[in-house]
Amino acid sequence: MQLITRDQWGAHPPKSPFTQISGTQGVKIHYEGTSVPSSLANPDQHGQCAARMRDLQASHQANEKEKYIDLAYSAVVCPHGAVFEGRGPGHLQAANGPGLNSQHYSVCAMVGDSGLTEPTAAQLGGLRDAIEWLRATGGAGVEIKGHRDGYATSCPGEPLYRWVQSGAPRPGGSSPAPAPVTPPPAASGAPAWPGRYLRNGSSGSDVRTWQQRMAQRGWAISADGAFGPQTERVVRAFQAEKHLQPVDGVIGPVTWAAAWTAPIT
C-alpha cells in the first residue's frame, strides 16, 4: 500500500476537531462527479495528484452549503494507486449524506463524470488497499457499497459501481470473501441474529421480535414490525445505556444480542 499522509500531501488543518468514531459497517465508494483530466492517469502525472488533493480540500472547506470542516472523504485514491489520507480512520466522514455518515467510511477515486471516467487497474488496487487499511486501523466492517446505495445520486458513476457490484475485486484476481459476521453467544432461549442489519426503513418479523423484547425490558416502543423514528430513538438510547459501539441507531449482531444478554437496569 502506498499511503500518502495528510502532512505529505500538504493538507490544511480541519476547521474544527474531527468527531471520533470506533467503527462502521463498512466503506462506501465515491467519485469526484466533475470533470477529471484524462491526462492525470499518465505515469508522469503522479506529481499532480497531491495538488489535486489540496484543491479538493480547499473546495470542500469553502463549501458554504455543506459547511464541511475538512475534505469530506476518509481517503482518496489517485489513478496511480496511491491512497491519500483524508479524514482517516477513526474519524467521522461527511460524504455519504445526512443520517448516513456514521454508518460507513468513504473512499473517493480520482475519476469523474467526464474526462477520466474509467478507473485504472492501479486505482482499483488502491481502492482495495484503502478499504483494508480502514478495516485494519479504523474498525470498518465488511460492507462495500456505492454512494448511491444510501443516497439518491449517480455517484460513484457506472464503471466504479459495476466494480462495487462485482464484489470490488483486485485487478487480476478476486477480493477475499468477506468474513462472516458472528454475533456474540446468545442467552438461552434468545433468537439468533437474523443475519441482516435492521435500520430506519426496515420492516418485518425480525424488527417486531426486537421491538417486543425491548418492550418486555420496559422501553416505550410499539411492536408493529416497522422500524421508524421511534424505534431508532430506542435503539440509540439502548446502545448508549449499555455502552455499545457505535451508537448509530442500527441493530447489528451486538445490539441484537444485548437485548437478551444485557442486564436490565
User: How far apart, in whole angstroms, are the C-alpha atoms of residue 146 and residue 182?
Assistant: 24
Query: Which residue, 132, 165, 198, sits at the end of a domain?
Result: 165
pLDDT in tens, 83-123: 999 999 999 999 999 889 999 999 999 999 999 999 999 99
Instruction: Tabulate helix, strand, coil % of the chain (nearest 5).
Output: 35, 15, 50
Question: Which of the four pLDDT bands, split at 50, 70 and 90, describes residue 244?
Answer: confident
* Predicted local confidence at residue 247, as pLDDT: 82
Instruction: Mark whether 192 and 262 lie in a shared domain.
Output: yes
pLDDT in tens, 43-56: 999 999 999 999 99
3-state secondary structure of 114: strand
Whether cis (ω within 30° of 0) applies to the bond prior to 246 is yes
Cα dihedral 123→97→241→214 (10° resolution): -110
pLDDT in tens, 153-196: 999 999 999 999 999 999 976 444 444 444 444 444 678 878 77
CATH code: domain of residue 153 = 3.40.80.10
Report the domain count for the chain.
2
Q: Is residue 170 part of a domain?
A: no
* Predicted local confidence at residue 173, as pLDDT: 62
264 CB-near residues (< 8 Å, 6+ apart): 217, 218
User: How far apart, in whole angstroms, are the C-alpha atoms of residue 118 and residue 261?
Assistant: 48
Host domain of residue 252: 181-265
pLDDT in tens, 12-48: 999 999 999 988 999 999 999 999 999 999 999 999 9
Instruction: Mark whether 214 and 158 lie in a shared domain.
Output: no
Closest CA to 28 of 85, 73, 88, 70: 73
Predicted TM-score (pTM) of the model is: 0.66
The rounded mean pLDDT for the chain is 90
Q: Which three cell numbers stand for residue 203?
A: 420492516
Instruction: Mark whether 106 and 13 lie in a shared domain.
Output: yes
